[in-house]
Structure 1
Amino acid sequence: MDCTFKLIKFSLEQKFSCARTKAEATVTNVLAPHAISEVKSKNLFPVLLRYFDATQGVQVKLWKLNSLPHENSDLTSTFLTESLDMINANEKNSCPVCWQYNCDFRGVNKKGGNNVFTKLKNYLGHELLGVGCTAHTVHNTTQAASDVLPVDDEIIVFKIYGHFHIYIVYVENLKDVCESVEKEYQKIMGYSKTRWLALRPAVERILQMFEPLKLYFQSQENCPNVIKIHFGNPLFEARLWFIHSQASTFHDSVKLTENENVSIFYVIELSKLKLSLKSRIDDNFLPLSVKSMLLKLEEEGYIIKEEVSDFRTSTKLFYQTALEYLEK
């Protein structure tokens, strides 16, 4: 506008006056906020193409971006087929990767005709390899596996966070306990219950603060009784270490499958995670921290041999359930 406003003033409007300062104010305070609000008000649907180039390797490009107010199977499949027509996709090998809503795949068995996967397959006229969101798959796997454990420690972790999240006085009391045992206070972390993988940092923080937390809850009268009972259970810390170990394993798997250059076939198979689970089943694996903790508790008489056996049985069932879910 520094250059243009004089030309506009000479040829179009003599009273026109909008150089750098006014133009910047207009763009910053009017056009930009309006553009952002327009984008936020739309339900944008991106189509990404992932392909291999002989000279540049794996490439990921934004191919189409459109606003789909209602992402039902008809609208979605129509938009996708129109996008694929532009690159002659029916002549190429392709596999759709998307969220695992019923609209997309109609369940793990991909049955039924009113879903995007089936409609794309019919359009292309050949079989498709349907790939759901790996992060959701792994999350659902861990959720299904944790449900077979005899105690839902996930709820306890959530309740511990809730206890300190609202009342500052509880936090101050915990800080006093930390000071008495010469342990540095660290803030208790929460997590989203819709994402089992986010449990790891929350559990890790409780383990770091386990001693002062145990002393705190055992000395408090006005606290959830279920938390006090868990801290009184000699196996509680061992169970948390087991959960932490599993959360770390599955989290690393998600990070690997979301790598920019990972093969689609690895994403589908999750081969490294399956191999790890099979190995843990065959070896009746326990993390070293858990194994040494169980041995110490048994030697000191806090638990009996049958309790150790039950603990091992439940952890093996965890691995088996996770592997069965992934295979499915």
Structure 2
Amino acid sequence: HNLSYSNLDCGVKLMQKIFNDSGSIGKKLSCGRTKAESLVKNVPAPEAVSQVLLALSRDGKPLPFAIQTDASNKGNRKMFPAVQCFTPQNGLLNRMIDFVENPHESANGIVKRITNSLENVGPSSDNVSAFSADNTNVNYGVHNSVYTDLHKKHKNLLQGNCRAHIVHNTVRHAVNELSVDIETVVLKEYGFSVSAKGRENFKEFFDFLDVQWREILWHVATRWLSLNPAVSRMLQNWVAVKSYFIC
């Protein structure tokens, strides 16, 4: 649920009061953020990594695998990487082998982080068969990128571009050919429902037309996956939206 370990500092105290009828068990309950983080890192995490290493081998022989990285934004922090492999028994597998902070977003910095993660966790970099990441210059630039640096060490390394971004870029250029700026329409529609009063007026109009109310979705230009849900929701509400703005 993306909850911070800090929540346990208060959560445990609350549970002690809720389960106070359980005798000494409830009163002695103790697991704050420090202990919880230690438990996660030292019990399930090593077991999860061992399962990944087991999946990356068959009959004692290592299997080829692909490295995937994605700079997951957590405030001003960047997190990396994961692996992907194929096994006859389980098909395509996506597994996390490390989740580390890396402030150096240069090609050299990312390559060092990938190399260090592989060395620390266990799978040999000699078995890396492909590299997959977002289609940015730092990842796939022609002269100096993560891919070109890795390719120097692995001559048969395959390039696994992000197909989702390719589709997104295709749609973005196609949308530019429309006679209407669809992003502006979606943003204007959402603007009428930002305030509590505006939302309530909009909702009352839906009731007047006997149309089911669905929350207006917010599209953020920098969040490239948000446009499709926002447009789909607008089409679901189209009868009421059209009447509201045209009438």
TM-score by length of 1: 0.48
Q: Distance in 1 between matches of 2:34 and 2:201?
A: 50
Structure 1 pair 134/23, CA: closer, same or farther in 2 (3 Å)?
farther
Residue matched to 2:147? 117
Q: Deviations over 1:269-324 (max 9, x none)?
A: xxxxxxxxxxxxxxxxxxxxxxxxxxxxxxxxxxxxxxxxxxxxxxxxxxxxxxxx
- Residue aligning to 2:133: 98
Question: Equivalences for 1:246-265 in 2 at 5 Å?
Answer: none
Going by fraction, where is strand more abundant, 1 or 2? 2
Q: Kindly indicate whether the alpha-carbon contact (under 8 Å) linking 1:46 and 1:64 is maintained by their aligned counterparts in 2.
A: yes
Tell me the equivalent position of 2:165.
136
Q: Which amino acid aligns with 1:49?
A: V
State yes or no: 1:78 paired with 2:108.
Answer: no
**Matched-pair contact (CA < 8 Å) for 2:193–2:199:** yes
Could you say which structure has the larger radius of gyration? 1
Aligned to 2:185: 156
Aligned equivalents of 1:164, 1:44: Cα separation in 2 = 33
For residue 178 of structure 2, give the secondary structure of its aligned residue in structure 1. coil
Aligned to 1:190: 218
Residues 96 and 117, structure 1, Cα contact 8 Å, conserved in 2: yes
Q: Give secondary structure in 2 for the equivalent of 1:145.
A: helix
After superposition, where does 1:1-328 map in structure 2 within 5 Å?
24-25=29-30, 27-28=31-32, 30-32=34-36, 43=77, 45-82=79-116, 87-90=123-126, 92=127, 94-106=129-141, 111-112=142-143, 114-124=144-154, 126-166=155-195, 168-219=196-247
The verdict on how the C-alpha distance between 1:211 and 1:129 changes in structure 2, with shifts beyond 3 A counting, is same
Q: Does the residue aligned with 2:32 lie in a helix, a strand or coil? A: helix
Q: Distance in 1 between matches of 2:200 and 2:101?
A: 50
TM-score, normalised via structure 2 length: 0.61
Contact 1:81/1:120 (<8 A) preserved: no
Q: In structure 2, how many angstroms separate the alpha carbons of the residues matched to 1:154 and 1:176? A: 25
CA RMSD of aligned residues (A): 3.5
Do the aligned residues in 1 keep the contact of 2:80 with 2:102 (CA within 8 Å)? no
Shift of 1:118: 0.6
SS at match of 2:161: coil
Shift of 1:93: 6.3
Contact 1:142–1:196 (CA under 8 A) maintained in structure 2: no
Of all paired residues, the percent bearing the same amino acid is 28
8 Å CA contact 2:192, 2:199 repeated in 1: no
SS of equivalent to 2:113? helix
Aligned AA (1:147): N
> Separation in 1 of the partners of 2:78 and 2:243?
51
Note if contact 1:73-1:115 (Cα within 8 Å) is conserved in structure 2.
Answer: yes
Structure 2: gaps spanning 5 or more residues:
1-23, 41-73
Aligned residues of 1:42 and 1:67 also touching (Cα < 8 A): no
How far apart in 2 are the matches of 1:201 and 1:213? 16
**Is the 1:143–1:196 contact (alpha carbons within 8 Å) kept by the matching residues of 2?**
no
Distance of 1:119 and 1:201 partners within structure 2: 37
8 Å contact kept, 1:191–1:199? yes
Structure 2: distance between partners of 1:41 and 1:24? 32
Distance (whole Å) between structure 1 residues aligned to residue 28 and residue 232 of structure 2: 52
Whole-angstrom CA distance in 1 between matches of 2:98 and 2:224:
33
Change (3 A) 1:74 1:142: same
* Distance of 1:201 and 1:103 partners within structure 2: 29
Question: How far off its partner does 1:120 sit?
Answer: 0.4
**Residues 164 and 82 of structure 1: is their aligned pair in 2 closer, same or farther, counting only changes over 3 Å?**
closer
Gaps of 5+ in 1: 1-18, 220-328
Distance 1:176 1:199, change over 3 A: same
**Relative to 1, partners in 2 of residues 1:151 and 1:72: Cα closer, same or farther, differing over 3 Å?**
same
Change (3 A) 1:196 1:67: closer
Q: Which secondary structure does the structure 2 equivalent of 1:151 belong to?
A: coil
Q: Compared with structure 1, are the counterparts of its residues 95 and 160 closer, same or farther at alpha carbon in structure 2 (3 Å cutoff)? A: same
Superposed displacement of residue 122, structure 1: 0.6
| CA displacement 1:50-91 (0-9 Å, x = unmatched) | 22334444344433444423232112212334555764443x
Q: Secondary structure at the match of 1:97?
A: strand
